Amino acid sequence: MIIDLAELLSRRNFTADFTVSFDRESLHIISEDYPIRKKKPFEFHLANEENRRLYIHAEGEMQVAIPCDRCLRKTNFPFSLVIDRTLYLSEGAVVIPEEERDTFAFLADGHSIDCDILVFDEILVNWPTKVLCRNDCKGLCPVCGRNLNDGDCGHDRFVPDPRMAGIQDLFKNFKEV
Ligand SMILES: [Zn+2]
Ligand SMILES: [Zn+2]
């Protein structure tokens, strides 16, 4: 959702609160789509300080379906997001310094902000390095691909450690003597 800043920027020290819903139904990251399972509207608080700075504070929560690292089953991961950004104002408009044009590309123009992109940036910063459907997830059988949380398939899943190969050879030679 886009917030129009016209009123906020026209009055020094003006503050305003907005309830903003995240418009997207899924997150597209690299070549994957992650469905959003649950979301609550974000509470945005904006403050124009002396027509020099614009403070943005927002909080919200959502659950995103991310595949489990071991069994690939989609797992609802909860995000608790807190956004704090400061933008600079000049002559009643938001000014983005040259060196920050890439990171602040979410600004549609000097008089509005795109909250979706602001939220999306924060999700990326908070993206988990590991997601498990449960702490003791058994993963997939390397032989048949069965999800072992659903029961055992009976396959021998012993994967020899390559570091053991040398020791096994030694042992064989010893026996042959
Ligand atoms: Zn799992
Ligand atoms: Zn199997």
Neighbours of 127 (CB within 10 A): 15
- Ligand 2 centre from 153 Cα, in Å? 5
Measured between alpha carbons, how far is residue 146 from residues 30, 39, 116, 119 in Å? 27, 32, 38, 36
Q: Which residues of the chain have pLDDT under 50?
A: none
The pLDDT, as a whole number, for residue 162 is 66
The pLDDT, as a whole number, for residue 168 is 59
Q: What is the pTM of this model?
A: 0.76
Rounded-to-integer distance, Cα 103 and Cα 167, Å: 54
- Ligand 1 centre from 81 Cα, in Å? 25
The pLDDT, as a whole number, for residue 153 is 92
Rounded-to-integer distance, Cα 20 and Cα 114, Å: 10
- Specify the length of the chain in residues: 177
- Ligand 2 centre from 74 Cα, in Å? 20
The pLDDT, as a whole number, for residue 118 is 87
End-to-end, the C-alpha distance of the chain in Å comes to: 78
The answer to whether the beta carbons of residues 50 and 77 sit under 8 Å apart is no
Strand partners, 17: 45
Rounded-to-integer distance, Cα 127 and Cα 72, Å: 17
Rounded-to-integer distance, Cα 14 and Cα 77, Å: 36
The pLDDT, as a whole number, for residue 27 is 93
Helix, coil or strand: residue 19 = strand
The answer to whether the beta carbons of residues 155 and 141 sit under 8 Å apart is yes
The pLDDT, as a whole number, for residue 174 is 62
- Ligand 2 centre from 147 Cα, in Å? 9
The pLDDT, as a whole number, for residue 57 is 96
